[in-house]
Structure 1
């Protein structure tokens, strides 16, 4: 179960690195506009706001990776759980206030990872 939880946490971290790249560096590209359902004008007008959002997603990814790499297993567990819960809360908020698909795309992997981390650390 430990290997599965590690893989799931790493996947959530990688997803947030990808979101960081989309929001910070690719926001005005057709790929990001399609992913976030924005227009060219909206993307241009909100470029700095999106970069800020991307930075926060990077912090979530960094926290998850920190939890995976921490030499103390107990601290690593706590870090993973904390940052996965942060991702889950952000997904719930985003799903309720923006796009419902955020619950599935970001929330579901986070909640599955939370379950796996908890089960691996029983």
Structure 2
């Protein structure tokens, strides 16, 4: 089960690096516009662009934190569970605040799976 947790957690980290890429480096791309259901004109607004880039850094650091735990710590279960719960809560908030329920499934599904596996492992 530990290998599965590592693989899925790595996928969560990669997902957050991709979100960071969209928000920070490809801020005005058509892919970013489609992903966030925004127009390219909205994304070219300097204030929105700055906000997205800032949010992108946060997302990248979440990915980095996950990889740090997996690579440099021996007992990462508790900390990794805390990060997964954080991701789940953020996905829920994003889903409900935007009215777009698919956000939860896109951003939170892997984190839910990892959290369940971690809880099972902690109970064993």
Report the TM-score when normalising by structure 1: 0.92
Matching residue of 1:84 = 84
Residue 104 (1) aligns with residue 105 (2): yes
TM alignment of 1:27-106, pairs within 5 A: 27-45=27-45, 46-73=48-75, 76-98=76-98, 99-106=100-107
Structure 2 CA distance for aligned equivalents of residues 78 and 60 of structure 1: 15
| Structural RMSD (CA) | 1.2
The Cα of 1:70 is off from its aligned counterpart by 2.8
The one-character-per-residue Cα deviations of 1:56-107 (angstroms, maximum 9, x if unpaired) are: 111211111122113332xx11221111111111000000001211110011
Q: Which runs of 5+ in 2 are unaligned?
A: none
Q: Count matched residues.
A: 120
TM alignment of 1:110-121, pairs within 5 A: 110-121=111-122
The Cα of 1:118 is off from its aligned counterpart by 2.2
**Is residue 12–residue 61 contact of structure 1 (8 Å, CA) maintained in 2?**
yes
Structure 2 CA distance for aligned equivalents of residues 120 and 6 of structure 1: 13
Report the TM-score when normalising by structure 2: 0.91
Q: Which runs of 5+ in 1 are unaligned?
A: none
